[in-house]
Amino acid sequence: MDKKAEDLLKRPLYVSEAEFEKLVGDLDESLSGSDSSDSEDEDDDASRKDTTLTALLRKQATLAERGNGADGDEENGFSKRKRRGGGKSPLLWFSSPVLPPNHYFGVYRAIFTSEEGKNDADIVEVIKKKQVAAIPPPKSGPDGNLAPAAYKGPHIFMCMIGGGHFAAMVVSLAPRQTKHGTTGPLNREATVLAHKTFHRYTTRRKQGGSQSANDNAKGNAHSAGSSIRRYNEQALTDEVRLLLRDWKGLLDTSELLFIRATGATNRRTLFGPYEDQVLRANDPRIRGFPFSTRRATQNELMRSFIELTRLKVQEIDPASTVKPQQETPAKTAPSKPPKPPPPKLSEEEETALLHTSQLQAFIRRSKLPALLSYLKNNDLPADFVFQPQDSQQNYHATTPLHLSASQNSAPLVSGLLLKAGADPTLKNGEGKTPFELAGDRATRDAFRVARDELGEDKWDWEAARVPPPMKREDAERRDEREKSEAERKEAERRKAEEQRLRAEGPRVADQPRTGKSLLDAGIPKTAQERREEEARGLTPEQRMKLDRERRARAAEERLRRMRAGGGVLQLVNEGRLQLNTLLKDILPEFSSDSSIITNEPTAEDPLTHRVALAKSNHWRYGADGVHLPKRTDTLPAFSGLKKIGMLRAQYDYSNWYSALAGLAIGQASDS
């Protein structure tokens, strides 16, 4: 820190405005002279504790440095342009003698250049100068657009880009006159010098955001759609920049540039930076559209041009413009009046609420000892009235005895009547006594037993609407009788259920109906329908995989049945199937002499048939039986056994042909 800064620290904290300005100036000089100081000095400065004054002065110096830096950037052409018309209405209103009272002309501020909009007093003269006379339209080129240097009149450039849509137009401010019909008046129409529109698929439908923005946020996607959008985004950028390069002559001579480009990607497309850049973001001619615009199309550009260049006529009442300003504070107030704060409770009311919550909790949990102890310790009467009385719950059950009776808690009713001395004649808000709230016999008997034990003189039992008294022994005997009767009925039900289970077996619950309606809920689905339901929503590759798995499971099931080999044996044992006759009808005929398959029982084989293996490798059939080969690798059994399927309907045996094949293979492998 230099000497001047040390002097600043030694001075008092309170200074006048003139002295403060002088201090700031001296500090600026000190800071500017110490830019090239050593790093050691900077470390020493950082290590010292800043006071309030030094922190304020350093902040002022930093702001001054930023201001100087901004001026330097402005010279290089990189400064941010100031927002024009900030805080002002987008329309300028003018009065005219040709208009009715309280009617005014409106003109958009955006159509004036920076020089024209400096002085509002000269706006009328500027508007008069902008009334350019109609001129004949220039000849267009072969592509329908003008050559870049073919038009020297006043014109503006309009451009919109967003969502993959791009539209641009250069339009002359001098209208052209056209005549519709032979006697009609001359019409003034806009002269479009050049126009072009592009569209590329760069944004997902109903999602928004460019593909590049999505890639920057979440990483590059590898889908086909993302690749197409990424390619189209770059192609649109190249097309737009090439078009701007072709129109450079018209853009350089344009009075104003109306551009709508929202988003970093769209602004980068127009303003770059890139080689041979045409548009600059700091161009003072650039304007935005001071009204809402729709999709970038040629029609939308023409509509925007008409909106900008046509006068607006509107009725404005000066009294109505002042009145809303006066009523602004009233409008800021909420429409609904605020709820009044709840009244502050006294200490007695808070204590009553606490006792109410505790007593009700004990009663709901049937805690009789805790309830009696709480009443005794807090010197509360057994007829304590719950608070607040106007609540729905407390209106129905006013006292602990009312709540106990409504909860059907016989022990609590007996304890409150016999031990706490609760009054059964009190009525709730509905005019009912506690007995009338009891919902079961045990609770009502508790009132009758209490009447017997307390005596007729204790309370007016008739006013309490309690029936005649009952001895406790009688009540207990009736309870035991009812309990034993219920147990007997339950035992009989269990016994009947066990007998039914032995006779019928367990009941199978009905399958839940899965149909959407009562008509199709019970219709069983066929195998084809089940297969279609399983394959619904799958891709062709997934369906092929599912079909392969289904076929593999079916093949495994067929092999399992073939290895089982028990179905045909049972049929032969029962005498329902003649094996020789069956094989004779199905297998091919061969003439040879070998061992035989018969239905005659033998001592060697416990089954009712005997299989002997021939020494040859072919099926052989003779007059006395069918002969099997010894080896199974050349066995042509499956081709012959396929014919058995034709006889399946006749015999109606679900797996007998698989068992027959398993029998042949199993016997051949045993040898």
Active site residues: 211
Question: What are 269's two structure tokens?
Answer: 């497309």
Phi and psi of 341, rounded to 5°? Answer: -65, 145
- At 204 the three-state DSSP class reads coil
* Alpha carbon distance 468, 482 (integer Å): 21
CA angle 118, 120, 121 (to 5 degrees): 120
Name the E strands within 316-369: none
- Rg of the chain, C-alpha, whole Å: 52
Structure tokens belonging to residue 569: 């044996």
Phi, psi of 437 (to 5 degrees): -90, -10
Question: Are the C-beta atoms of 106 and 90 separated by less than 8 Å?
Answer: no
Extract the tokens encoding 374: 């709480």
* Two tokens, residue 331: 């409008």
Give the number of C-alpha atoms closer than 13 A to the C-alpha of residue 141, restricted to the C-beta side: 11
- 190 burial via Cβ count (<10 Å: 0-12, 13-18, 19+): middle
Beta carbons within 10 angstroms of residue 366's beta carbon: 14
C-alpha to C-alpha distance for 164 and 27, rounded to whole angstroms: 54
For 352, list phi and psi in degrees, rounded to 5.
-65, -40
Taking residue 197's Cβ as centre, other Cβ atoms within 10 Å add up to 16
| 91: alpha, beta or left? (left if phi > 0; alpha if psi -120 to 50) | beta
Kind and range of the H or E element at 580?
Answer: helix 579-586
Assigned token pair, 229: 């959008």
The residue among 494, 416, 424, 496 whose CA lies nearest residue 460 is 424
Q: Could you give the angle at which helices 347-364 and 368-377 cross, rounded to 10 degrees?
A: 160
DSSP 57-74: HHHHHHHHHHHHHHHHHH
Those residues whose C-beta lies under 8 Å from the C-beta of residue 75, and which sit 6 or more positions away, are none
Q: Which of 606, 582, 591 is nearest to 660 (CA)?
A: 582
The whole-angstrom separation of Cα 217 and Cα 215 is: 5
Rounded CA separation 421/424 (Å) = 9
Count of C-beta atoms within a 10 Å radius of residue 13: 7
Conformation bin of residue 64: beta by default, left when phi > 0, alpha when psi is -120 to 50:
alpha
What SS3 string covers 268-304? HHHHCCCCCCCCCCCCCCEECCCCCCCCCCHHHHHHH
**69: how many CB neighbours lie within 10 A of its CB?**
11
Helices 224-246 and 264-271, interaxial angle, to 10°? 30
Query: Of the candidates 569, 617, 615, 572, which has an alpha carbon nearest to the alpha carbon of residue 595?
Result: 615
> Checking phi first, is residue 219 left (phi over 0); if not, alpha (psi -120 to 50) or beta?
left
Q: What is the distance between the alpha carbons of residues 426 and 464, in angstroms, rounded to a whole number? A: 8
- Phi first, then psi, for residue 157 (nearest 5°) are -110, 135
